[in-house]
Amino acid sequence: MSSNALYTNLSGYYDLMCAGINYQAQSNAAHRLNQIFGNKGSSHLDLACGTGPHIRHFLDLGYHCSGLDINPPMLDRAKLRCPEAHFTDQDMCGFTVAEPVDLVTCFLYSIHYSDGLAKLKACIACVHKALKPGGVFCFNAVDKHKIDNSLLVRHTANYENSHFVFSSGWNYGGEGEKQSLVLSIEKTTAGNSESWQDEHPMVAVSFEELQALLQPYFEVHRFEHDYEKIVPLAPRAGNALFVGIKK
């Protein structure tokens, strides 16, 4: 299966795969951080927006929203969920906006979809250019040195007379700038099972490397990966919430 197949051919299962994610809590946290660190504006862009669940919550919070993704089937679903928003088929490592915005978000560790450090640098530069003065870039990330290849997130769901088992986990070889997200879907209908696997290429960075890439463009703050509280990042944390304020 190609590296994007689970996001294109099987896009109808994407929301099921992410059913356990608290999109509202993530969106509310980014909203609070924007109020604290931002320029008080309410225009918003979501990178790698998928089917638009974060955008739906930002719209409900009163934002004027747009989203971009490279997978048209995902964008089709996002447009149905969020008809008030504007969506474009663009790569987050080389995008443009018609007008600068106040807040850019990138959740579900999607910043790592920048496959390689050169593309990650390009993504950061694009975000900086897309923001108004004092605008905020809010995203979550994983430190390559804290990845445990044996850990998987697994959940089940029932949909249209079928039982699904979804699993995902990080894989890092221990050195270099390459890691991957390992994904699988198992579907059982009337006793017949089929499965799909995918290993999606991702960029691997330490938090120190990521901070260094951001600092030419942003004042950088790192927080615990906690969407209910704003807590400085602990030294041993492997997941983090990054906030950058445009310089």
**Per-residue tens of pLDDT for the chain, all 247 residues:** 344 555 555 667 788 888 889 999 999 999 999 999 999 899 999 999 999 999 999 999 999 999 999 999 999 999 999 999 999 999 999 999 999 999 999 999 999 999 899 999 999 999 999 999 999 999 999 999 999 999 999 989 998 899 999 999 999 999 999 999 998 889 999 999 988 888 889 999 999 999 999 999 999 999 999 999 999 999 999 999 999 999 9
Model-level pTM? 0.94
Please, what is the Cα angle at 142 between 139 and 145, to 5 degrees?
150
Going along the chain from its start, the domains and CATH numbers come out as 5-143+205-246 (3.40.50.150), 145-203 (2.20.130)
Q: What is the Cα–Cα distance from 172 to 233, expressed in whole angstroms? A: 22
Helical ranges in 38-190 per DSSP H: 53-60, 72-81, 117-130
